[in-house]
Amino acid sequence: MLLEAISAGKDLGRAHEIASILVRCGFGGVVRRLGLGHALEQAGKKLHWKYAEETAVLESHQRARHALEELGPTFVKLGQVLATRVDLFPPEWIAEFELLQDAAPPVDFEELRAQLEEDLGSPPEEIFAEFDTEPLAAASIAQVHRARLRDGAEVIVKIRRPGIKRVVEADLRLMKRLAQIATRENPETQRFCPDEVVHQFSLALRRELDLAHECRNAVRVAESLAEREHVVIPKVYWQWTSERVNVQEYIDGIPGRDMAAFEAAGLDRRLIANRGASAILRMVLVDGFFHADPHPGNIFFLRDNRIALIDFGMIGHLTEERRFQVIELLHGMVERDTSRVCEVLLEWSNNTRAPSERLVADICAFLDQYHGLSLGQVNFPVMVRDMMAMLRENHLVLPSDLSMMFKVFLTLEGFCRQLNPDFDLIAEARPFVRHAMIMRYTPGEVAKRGWHGLSGMIDLLTGLPKDLRRLLRAARHGALRVHIDIEELEHFGERLDSAASRLTIGMITAAFIIGTSIMMSVTGDTEYLAMSILAGFGFSLATLGGVWVLLSIWRGRH
């Protein structure tokens, strides 16, 4: 039951609000599974709540977007993260999640002034030569104001919304509980890893609440792209940057969404597409530290065919091993090496079982589509979508870092094709793949990996006697335990416990009925009145017990 899972009474009102919104958006079944019952859904229909009738004609993915929008900024952010999980959701769901915009009504500057003065150490009028109190943009976590420093530099001041951290933390607590309940009430949701998704989302959102962390990300990306003068990363003014405010260079350019202004400026489409792709591919395949949300709203075109990247709140990380696995996967596909592709996919999904016959057959069918093709002939977006569909059908889930990487590639490919219809992501990636392969097998790298493997083996062998002594000591003292986890047996135990509970309540109910019947047979004025009262109370308890048993049986069948 949801009410049992809520340990903090202060979150109860928000939980009721979430349930109401889900009902209004047509997810009454989800609410029932979460334990809030049928009453809210019926009330929503009778009271004609917003979306109660409108959403009846919408598809599930459309209703899900409506629900996330109405649930507020934390859930809109969740939807944006889910838009990166191309391994969990089909294309129509991803497309719907991508429509979620992180926009919010602006906060009046006077409500921000006290917090801003505290963070800056002085009133903004004393620090900036000019400060525009009208926001340039407003999002769920922060809003941006334009300003000018005393030395004439144009900057933006990003200010976190007052009280937003408290709201986000409350929503994250509820998300965690809802994920646990969803997994418990509906085992089918386990393949979506709701606990892991919420955990990763919580970490990312808490980092995004720290505006100084965003600036640290920007500085790291700027250092990795320092040799690429055609890519601009805003300068950070650290003397006025903290957890709740940051000050960055103002980018005077054409927003990535404004293609009309792009055309009017006469910029070189092909050149800008290649420069943008080169920057992103270097971040992903060489540095392993990349902008995880390179949509048109975070890209600006500058007048001299340069591009600028902003908003580094969402960042992806890829280890060297992960990057090499991506390269292995591409080569395995082109070489039609089923075992290599299968091994990489299973390792990504953290699946320790042997590959099923269906998975092997699906991989063979998947590879047949690319048999005989060179890397340059592979349609990357189609390949990724086919691979993700195969993973979903076989209940395999990618780690969040890889799903984010594939999403970045798909976004990059779509955006660059909008600029240059002949854009080929594989061709652009080929130099980076070749460089990664060369670096992987340089004598120094081979020697380093060999030394790590050898030192690990030596540590294992030298520690083996100690581990054996501990094992034998535990066995002698009777402290050795063997844990066998059988999911089917656990489920059977739960069903058996439920049946025993019903049987017990049924027997108690029958005992009440028999006992009260005997009590009703007592004669005598005084005794009859007392016994009648007790009998009525007993019959009431018997009725409640009977209703509980019937409801329990009915819920078990559903």
Q: Which residues are catalytic?
A: 293
Query: What separation in angstroms does the CA of 507 have from each of 521, 550, 553?
Result: 22, 14, 15
For residues 104 and 138, the answer to whether their CB atoms sit within 8 Å is yes
Tell me if 31 sits within 8 A of 19, measured CB to CB.
Answer: yes
Identify whether the C-beta of residue 316 lies closer than 8 Å to the C-beta of residue 292: yes
Number of H helices and number of E strands within the chain?
Answer: 23, 11
Three-state SS for 113? helix
Q: What angle do CA 314, 317, 322 make, to 5 degrees?
A: 145
Dihedral sign for Cα 249, 252, 255, 256, please.
negative
Residue 372 is classified by DSSP as T
- Total Cβ atoms within 10 A of residue 393: 11
Residue carrying the six token digits 């690429």: 228
C-alpha distance across the termini of the chain, in Å:
16
Q: How far apart are CA 244 and CA 141, in angstroms?
A: 10
CA separation, residue 450 to residues 243, 347, 454, 456 (Å): 43, 21, 6, 10
Q: Is the dihedral of CA 384, 388, 394, 400 positive or negative?
A: positive
d(CA 544, CA 195): 36
Closest CA to 387 of 335, 348, 427: 348
CA dihedral 79, 84, 87, 90 (to 10 degrees): 60
Torsion angle, alpha carbons of 86, 90, 95, 99, to 10 = -80
Please give the structure tokens belonging to residue 426. Answer: 């594989």
User: 212, 319, 300: which is closest to 258 by C-alpha?
Assistant: 300
Q: Give the 3-state secondary structure of residue 251.
A: coil
Residue with tokens 């999904």: 349
Tell me the Ramachandran region of residue 48: left when phi exceeds 0, alpha when psi lies from -120 to 50, beta otherwise: left
Q: Which residues pair with 144 in a beta bridge?
A: 137, 158
- 58: Cβ contacts below 8 Å, ≥ 6 apart: 26, 66
Pairing of strands 307-309, 231-232: parallel
